[in-house]
Amino acid sequence: MVELTAAEKIELITRGLQEVLKKNIIEDVIVKENRPLKVYWGTAPTGRPHCGYFVAMVKIAHFLQAGCEVTVLLADLHAFLDNLKAPLDLVAHRAKYYENIIKTLLTSIGVPIDKLTFVLGSSYQLTPKYALDLLRMSTVVTEHDAKKAGAEVVKQVVSPLLSGLVYPLMQALDEEHLGVDAQFGGVDQRKIFTLAAEQLPSVGYKERAHLMNPMVPGLAGGKMSASDPNSKIDLLDPPDIVKNKLKKAVCPPLEVEGNGVYSFVEFVLFPISQLASADGKGSFTVNRDEKWGGPITYESIEQLKTDYLADKLSPVDLKQGVQETLNAILAPIRASFESNKEWQTITELAYPSEGPKKVKKKEKKIGSGYVKKNATIAEQVADGKVKPQNAVAETMGVDAKDALEKLSLDAGAGKKE
């Protein structure tokens, strides 16, 4: 493998990003210090990962090609803190599910994972040092700034919990406790990145660089979300489901801005084909019917954009091309899942099947109300049956030992895979 120059490494690290904050930090590490850039990408294990995750995987591939030391943070406690989006009894299983799917996803597009490090957030976020740092951060960050930082990431509700304010403080501190030079994420993370840059020096820690990917529009318009099945394609969706979702996707003719199908080609399919190409040049093929011009292969996204805006490529044909290409990429991921019984078991534990709906028996009322049987703590809080201040004790325990037991931490979760 040909050794890249410092300039080539920096170009690869920043390629395709929407924004880079403090690029000089990256340049200092690579040029002046002449060492690998240490970068981390974090993901909270909530809903099932979708095809939008390919965008981050392509950048992780670029980081590895540039010789970076990359850490993938499975932010299990963040998943719980985000308005109780993921109850702690499911978080541990979902973290394992995310690790499986991310490794398989990277492998499916030809990215070696031997130099990746996977770290479980709770493996260090429950230590005395981290807890003290979090308290120190709470003395320099105002309620207004914490709320503003998490506005585009933490679920917004009428009566927000304090956990949503802790979320961005922890994400900032993760940069120090993971020992990195830069944090990578979507542009929706910008306010948290800004908070980290401004406040880490206030508690004696250095400022880091921040790398931001553009956000890929969902199939129904707007942000692609793991919690909205209509906006995304699951990484394990079978071919017929992929076809149906794309058929229903919003794909206005002569428009590319906010067009989720076109954007998927631009930010996912073209970059993946570039990774697989020896010369780094991607392509995208549309197998059109002969009466509409026959099959056509685009060598650049600019060429495809020109044809689409000129109505030389129809939404129907674009969707067909995406369907065929995406199903080919997802095939090895589905095959890996179907042949891995352990992964299937983890999936069932992480995302329990609802099963056939049964007629519910009338619940016995106690006093002025009742608590639904087997209701999660999040549901009980939402129903007003459990006070928010009691939710943490109910799910996480009253002390660190109890919390660790409930999280069922894997002792080897922080080791390099």
What pLDDT digit, counting tens, does each position of 8-63 carry? 999 999 999 999 999 999 999 999 999 999 999 999 998 899 999 999 999 999 99
**Which residues, 6+ apart, have CB-to-CB distance to 406 below 8 Å?**
88, 89, 395, 396, 397
Do the beta carbons of residue 285 and residue 209 sit within 8 Å?
A: no
What are the C-alpha distances in Å from 262 to residues 202, 218, 221? 43, 11, 12
Show the CA angle centred on residue 53, arms to residues 49 and 56, nearest 5°: 145
At 406, the pLDDT band (50, 70, 90 cuts) reads low
Do the beta carbons of residue 99 and residue 253 sit within 8 Å?
A: no
Over 50: is that where the pLDDT of 396 sits? no
Residue located via tokens 């996803």: 105
Over 60: is that where the pLDDT of 158 sits? yes
Could you tell me where the beta strands, DSSP code E, fall in 25-68? Answer: 38-43
Read off the pTM.
Answer: 0.82
Q: At CB < 8 A and 24+ separation, what contacts does 261-265 make?
A: 261/219, 261/315, 261/318, 261/319, 261/322, 262/304, 262/305, 262/308, 262/318, 263/216, 263/217, 264/51, 264/216, 264/322, 264/326, 265/301, 265/304, 265/318, 265/321, 265/322
Over 70: is that where the pLDDT of 247 sits? yes
- Assign 267 to helix, strand or coil: helix
Residue located via tokens 């509409």: 292
**In terms of DSSP bridges, do strands 209-213 and 19-21 run parallel, antiparallel, or are they unpaired?**
antiparallel
**Taking Cα atoms as reference points, which of 124, 78, 68, 127 lies closest to residue 98?**
78
**In terms of DSSP bridges, do strands 209-213 and 284-286 run parallel, antiparallel, or are they unpaired?**
unpaired
Q: What is the CA radius of gyration of the chain?
A: 23
pLDDT for position 405: 57
pLDDT for position 132: 98
**Taking Cα atoms as reference points, which of 322, 333, 320, 323 lies closest to residue 235?**
333
Structure tokens at 12: 């690869």
59, amino acid identity: K
Over 60: is that where the pLDDT of 410 sits? no
Do the beta carbons of residue 72 and residue 33 sit within 8 Å?
A: no
What are the C-alpha distances in Å from 12 to residues 32, 262, 347? 18, 24, 35
DSSP designation for 348: H
What pLDDT digit, counting tens, does each position of 183-215 carry? 999 999 999 999 999 999 999 999 999 999 999
Lowest mean pLDDT among 60-74, 300-314, 330-344, 367-381: 367-381
Mean pLDDT of 268-283: 90
Do the beta carbons of residue 332 and residue 297 sit within 8 Å?
A: no
Q: What is the dihedral of CA 229, 231, 236, 242, to 10 degrees?
A: 110
Query: Alpha-carbon distance 108 to 100, whole Å?
Result: 12
What pLDDT digit, counting tens, does each position of 55-88 carry? 999 999 999 999 999 999 999 999 988 866 667 7
- Assign 213 to helix, strand or coil: strand
The helix (H) or strand (E) run that includes residue 402 is: helix 400-407
Q: In what order do the strands lie in the sheet with 38-43?
A: 19-21, 209-213, 182-186, 38-43, 69-74, 116-120
- Assign 116 to helix, strand or coil: strand
Do the beta carbons of residue 81 and residue 210 sit within 8 Å?
A: no
